[in-house]
Amino acid sequence: MHIHILGICGTFMGGIAAIAKEAGHRVTGCDANVYPPMSTQLQALGIELIEGFSPQQLDLKPDLWVIGNVVSRGNPLMEAILDARQTYVSGPQWLAEHVLHGRWVLAVAGTHGKTTTSSLLTWILEHAGLQPGFLIGGVPSNFATSARLGGSDFFVIEADEYDTAFFDKRSKFVHYRPMTAVLNNLEFDHADIFRDLEAIETQFHHLVRTVPGKGRLIVNGQIGADGQGAGAALARVLARGCWSECEAFGTATGWHEGELNEAAEHSRFRVAFGTQDFGLCQLALAGEHNRLNAIAAIAAARHVGVTPQVAIEALASFGGVKRRLESRGSVAGVEVIDDFAHHPTAIETTIAGLRSRLQASGQAHRILAVLEPRSNTMKLGAMKAQLPASLALADRVFGFGAALGWDLAQALAPMGEKAQAHQDLPTLVQAIVREARPGDRVLVMSNGGFGGIHQKLLDALAARQG
């Protein structure tokens, strides 16, 4: 079968392309914006990419058009497909019908941590010899790709709550029918499609409704005395009805971390379920949020028969995920680090994780945070008031606000001279380079390519050194 994918360079649709290619289909695709790592991955797989959405692509005459949710009415190719009454499906529907049907699906949902937790879980199953298939919204360092068909019944998928397609406004994850579901956390996001948190909670309950009675939910149970916390919204979701086994993590009675030793290169912490201790886990990832991600992955893996001891052994060799505190290089003692963080909570936990790791090194390092608020939610300004608090642990803050409909400099004004905003990328790069000194960590946070700023910074630092 020849399938042509619209919006192929998104992390999800790129994963669909990789799996379809592995399954023996002829795969082509198109997109408007192409940047690594997905474009590099697709080219390495021998998948033909077409720039743009020209109606002339109808001449390819594929057997099926697979439509990504980046495509909307008015897209010239989509309009041509509709006018020609061609057969089309969404990416999640294609995946459900051609790959997931009849398999043991392990789905990882949540506002934050989906990519990392999915990667951790996949590596645990791989280490245990289960040869899982997977589709992850990033590229785990332990694998050469973000997706594969796999050699067993097990399939790990990053379960996104964003809508499926312009013709299917349900969240993607309702298509997946998991046997094991991790609910990592839940707070307001995607202001472009959800009116409020309750609307997202409804979608999460739709996911809960699809888990069989013999299935299992692994749920963040962190709720503070004030009724808030990462698990507060999830508790409301489950209060609407739960028909499956349920295990909590992040609580003393459920899965939790014990004694912690944070070092410069890794964390060591004990893994426990209630009063039962399973041993000491070593993890290269920084921050409490990543330790919770690891614990959730251990809990989910146990549902398919992987013992916590084997899971702990696997995590010692987990290499991380591209664009999650990924070092892009160092010049004259200044290290440039890339991260996908774009929601205020993710920004805060990312900086906190890096800060704890730097403190453990015993050396004085400054964090220069560089932020491009480019998600749809950020562009709407729905969370601009939360930015100063989320960036508080950084020593200096540099914002890039060229594509926003609101004043980033004004939003960062409560931070005083600690923060500055720029509308021009070369000016931003020069401002950062002027400030940077040996020992600094330049933490670049964006959910896009950010104009190749990482290499621009490294080149400018090298030029400064002479």
Q: Are strands 154-158 and 104-109 parallel, antiparallel or unpaired?
A: parallel
Q: Where are the alpha helices (DSSP H) in 266-394?
A: 288-303, 308-315, 344-360, 376-379, 387-390
CA distance 184 to 111: 7
Residue 388 lies in a domain: yes
pLDDT confidence of residue 195 = 87
Domain membership of residue 144 (yes or no) is yes
Q: What is the pLDDT of residue 340?
A: 82
Name the pLDDT band for 131 (thresholds 50, 70, 90): very high
pLDDT of residue 37: 64
pLDDT at 403: 76
Same domain? For 64 and 175 the reply is no
Say if residue 230's pLDDT is above 80.
no
The edge-to-edge listing of strands for the beta sheet with 26-31 is 48-51, 26-31, 2-6, 64-67, 88-90
Mean pLDDT computed over 439-462 = 90
DSSP string, 55-119: GGGGGG--SEEEE-TT--TT-HHHHHHHHTT--EEEHHHHHIIIIITTSEEEEEESSS-HHHHHH
Among the residue ranges 59-68, 169-178, 194-203, 319-328, the one predicted with the least confidence is 319-328
Examine the pLDDT at 25 and tell me if it is beyond 70: yes
In a shared domain, residues 336 and 283: no
CATH number of the domain at 372, please. Answer: 3.90.190.20
Give all strands (DSSP E) within 143-266, no chain letters. 147-148, 154-158, 163-165, 168-171, 180-183, 216-220, 245-249, 255-262
Residue span of the structural domain in which 80 resides: 2-91
Residues 214 and 111 in one domain: yes
Specify whether 407 is located in the same domain as 434. Answer: yes
List the beta bridge partners of residue 396: 368
How many independent structural domains does the chain possess? 3
Global pTM value: 0.85
- 3-class DSSP assignment, residue 385: helix
Query: Band of the pLDDT at 246, cuts 50, 70, 90?
Result: very high
Domain assignment present for 320: no
Determine what percent of the chain is predicted with pLDDT higher than 70: 98
Is there a single domain that holds both residue 72 and residue 126?
Answer: no
Choose one of 292, 315, 338: the last residue of a domain: 315
Distance separating alpha carbons of residues 397 and 418, to the nearest angstrom: 6
CB of 443 within 8 A of CB of 335? no
pLDDT digits (tens, 9 = 90+) for 96-120: 999 999 999 999 999 888 999 999 9
Helix (H, G, I), strand (E, B) or coil at 181: strand
User: Is pLDDT larger for residue 289 or for residue 86?
Assistant: 86
Domain match, 184 and 268 both: yes
Rounded Cα gap, residues 368 and 398, in angstroms: 7
Going by pLDDT thresholds of 50, 70 and 90, the confidence category of residue 433 is very high
- Out of 40, 69, 91, a domain closes at 91
Across 25-29, 322-326, 409-413, the highest mean pLDDT is recorded for: 25-29
- Alpha carbon of 386 to those of 12, 339, 347: distances in Å? 28, 19, 10
Per mean pLDDT, which range of 7-11, 356-360, 370-374, 389-393 is the poorest?
356-360
> Going by DSSP bridges, is the β-strand pair 367-371/441-445 parallel, antiparallel, or unpaired?
parallel
Residue 141 has pLDDT above 90, yes or no: no
**Residue 96 domain-assigned (yes or no):** no
Domain containing residue 84: CATH number? 3.40.50.720
Residue 348 has pLDDT above 70, yes or no: yes
Residues 246, 294, single domain; the answer is yes
Mean pLDDT over 375-383 rounds to 76
Q: What is residue 172's DSSP assignment?
A: G
Is residue 127 domain-shared with residue 71, that is, in the same domain? no
- Which of 159, 170, 152, 153 minimizes the C-alpha distance to 136? 159
CATH number at residue 189: 3.40.1190.10
User: Per the domain annotation, does 331 fall within a domain?
Assistant: yes
- What does residue 39 show for φ and ψ, rounded to 5 degrees? -60, -40
In a domain, 97, yes or no: no
Whether residue 381 is predicted with pLDDT greater than 90 in this model: the reply is: no
Which of 108-112, 159-163, 240-244, 444-448: highest mean pLDDT?
240-244
Asked whether residue 19 falls in the same domain as residue 128, the answer is no
Sign of the Cα torsion 160, 166, 169, 175 reads negative
pLDDT at 466 over 70: no
pLDDT top residue among 377 and 161: 161
pLDDT at residue 11 is higher than 90: no
- 14-30: average pLDDT: 94
236 in the same domain as 132:
yes
Q: Which of 315, 334, 361 represents a domain boundary (last residue)?
A: 315
Please indicate, yes or no, if residue 458 is contained in any of the structural domains: yes
Same domain, 331 and 442: yes
Position 321 in a domain: no
Q: Reply yes or no on whether the pLDDT at 31 is more than 90.
A: yes
pLDDT value of residue 35: 66
Average of per-residue pLDDT values in the chain: 90
Instruction: Express each pLDDT in 169-226 by its tens digit.
Output: 999 999 999 999 999 989 877 767 788 889 999 999 999 999 999 999 999 988 876 7
Same domain, 112 and 166: yes
Q: Are 170 and 66 in contact (CB under 8 A)?
A: no
Would you place residue 33 in the very low, low, confident or very high pLDDT band (cuts 50, 70, 90)? confident
Strands (E), 411-450: 419-422, 441-445
pLDDT above 70 (res 264): no
